[in-house]
Structure 1
Amino acid sequence: MKFDLHTHHFRCGHADGNIRDYIEAGIKAGLGVIGISDHTPYFAHPVEQAFPQIAMGKSELEAYVNEVLSLKKEYAGVIDVLLGIESDFFPESAPLYQKTLEAYPFDYVIGSVHNLGGVSIFNKGRWKKLGSIEQMDVKTEYYHLISQSAKSGMFQILGHIDAMKGNYPAFADIQVPADVDECLRTIADCGIAIEINTSGKTKLSGGWYPSDAILERALHFGVDVTFGSDAHKPSRVADELDAVAKRLKEIGFTQWVYYKQRKKVIVAL
């Protein structure tokens, strides 16, 4: 069973194509399951669509859910279409996000940290003039926030857990191993999964999120893994899926998971 749980579409303002395009791409790629998981609106922001090139407006959420559910029925027996969503994790507004998302029949919610201290994790400028101790503090804070997201109970999957290296590859070399390990222990204790996300190839870092070193530690701590291309155009659906499966088996994984009706489904590698 092949699956891809992380795809976007035009509503977020920075992806191409409609939902049907991604489903058709999934069929072409031989998937049995495709998850649609566009970005949540900024629920806590006072305006309808705070960042039109980052996430859909609040009023679009209902239409998004209804469209996915309609396509799920249409494609039944051809490909299993899952209703997902990717949510930012902001501790101060987590209760609002949780209450809002629980009102809809999501198969899963991906929790992703995209901002730290009000600055995008992909902003290269945040690293200018930071010494080694300050860089370590940033990385520690990043993994503490991911740990908080795991403990929130809001998510089935955590997205791209080392994506801060995306536009600053040197992030991977900042040594705070105890914090990363503690984060992975927390994720394992919470019984949720991390994704292997192949969109890192579109950033300066190249490769996948997370690194092999983190995946090896994840296996050690018993963390579940899943797959997401993080496709922002239909041609990237299932991108490098087979290569990821092969690498996971080399590391020592024997299975990975996806979620349906918020329940874990185990798939042999």
Structure 2
Amino acid sequence: MKFDLHTHHERCGHADGMIEAYIQSAIQGGLQAIGISDHSPYFGSEEDQPFPNIAMAKSAFPGYIEEVLRLKEKYSGQIEVLLGVESDFFPDYADVYRNYYANIPFDYIIGSVHHVGGISIFNKKRFTKLNDEQKFEAKRDYYDLIRQSALSGMFDVMAHIDAMKAYYPPFSDIPAHQEIDATLRTIAECGVSVEINTSGKMKDVGGWYPSDDILERACHFGVNVTFGSDAHTPTRVGDDWELVRTRLKEIGFKQWVFYRSRRPVIVPL
């Protein structure tokens, strides 16, 4: 069974195309399930859309839910459309986000950490003036936030868990195995999965998230895995799915999962 849980569309302000175009691309690509998971609004502000090129407006959120549910019915029998969302994790506002999501019939929620110490993980200059100790501290804090995300109980999937390497490939060489292992143990204990996200190939690092080294550790700790293209254009839906499947089998994984009504569905590799 071929699926993709991580896709965006134009509401977030930095993706192309409407939801239906991603669904149609998935059908053309032979997928049996397509997850729609655009960036949630920023609920930590009274403003409707404080970050218009990053996340959708709060006022757009009900329409997003309604559209996905409508398309789920429209395409029933052709492809399974899954209602998801990619939600940033901000510890100070976790309960605010939790309350917003409480009565929405999500199939899954992806948890993401995009900011560490108030700076975007994709900021190309964030490591420029840091010494080795400060680089380690940034990496430690990143994995601590991912660990907190898993413990929050809000999420089914943790997104791109080494995406801090996107525009700084040496990030992978910063020694922090204990922090990564502690995070993977927590993810496994919480029953949350890790996505293999193929959008890293579009960044300076030129590869998937997470690295093979982290996937090998995840396999050792019994972490479930899933697939997400993180498509911001319809043509990337399902990108590298077969390559990822092959690599996971080589590493030692026997299965991966997608989600329906917040419950994992096991798919043999």
Task: Give the unaligned 5+ runs of structure 2.
Answer: none
Amino acid at match of 2:166: G
Deviations 1:136-173 (A, max 9, x none): 11101100110000000000000000000001111011
Secondary structure, counterpart of 2:84 in structure 1: strand
Number of the residue aligned with 1:28: 28
Number of the residue aligned with 2:267: 267
- Equivalent residue runs for 1:1-269 within 5 Å: 1-269=1-269
Amino acid at match of 2:243: A
Secondary structure, counterpart of 1:155 in structure 2: coil
Deviations 1:175-198 (A, max 9, x none): 010000000000000011000000
Task: Give the unaligned 5+ runs of structure 1.
Answer: none
Amino acid at match of 2:119: V
Amino acid at match of 1:61: F
Q: How many pairs does the alignment contain?
A: 269
Secondary structure, counterpart of 1:231 in structure 2: coil
How far did residue 254 of structure 1 move? 0.7
Secondary structure, counterpart of 1:259 in structure 2: strand
Scaled by the length of structure 2, the TM-score of the pair is 0.99
How far did residue 33 of structure 1 move? 0.3
- CA–CA distance in structure 1, aligned partners of residues 61 and 176 of structure 2: 38
Amino acid at match of 1:145: L
Secondary structure, counterpart of 1:27 in structure 2: helix
- CA–CA distance in structure 2, aligned partners of residues 261 and 157 of structure 1: 13
Secondary structure, counterpart of 1:125 in structure 2: coil
Secondary structure, counterpart of 1:124 in structure 2: coil
- CA–CA distance in structure 2, aligned partners of residues 126 and 90 of structure 1: 19
Secondary structure, counterpart of 1:53 in structure 2: coil
Amino acid at match of 2:147: S
Divergent runs of 4+, >4 A: none
How far did residue 101 of structure 1 move? 1.0
- CA–CA distance in structure 2, aligned partners of residues 77 and 102 of structure 1: 28
- CA–CA distance in structure 1, aligned partners of residues 102 and 180 of structure 2: 29
Deviates more, 1:116-125 or 1:242-251: 116-125
How far did residue 20 of structure 1 move? 0.3
- CA–CA distance in structure 2, aligned partners of residues 251 and 216 of structure 1: 6
Amino acid at match of 2:143: Y
Amino acid at match of 1:222: G
- CA–CA distance in structure 2, aligned partners of residues 173 and 45 of structure 1: 36
How far did residue 45 of structure 1 move? 1.1
- CA–CA distance in structure 2, aligned partners of residues 216 and 228 of structure 1: 18
How far did residue 107 of structure 1 move? 0.5
Secondary structure, counterpart of 2:218 in structure 1: helix
- CA–CA distance in structure 2, aligned partners of residues 214 and 125 of structure 1: 25
Q: Over the residues paired in the alignment, what is the CA RMSD in angstroms?
A: 0.5
Identity of aligned residues (%): 61
How far did residue 103 of structure 1 move? 2.1
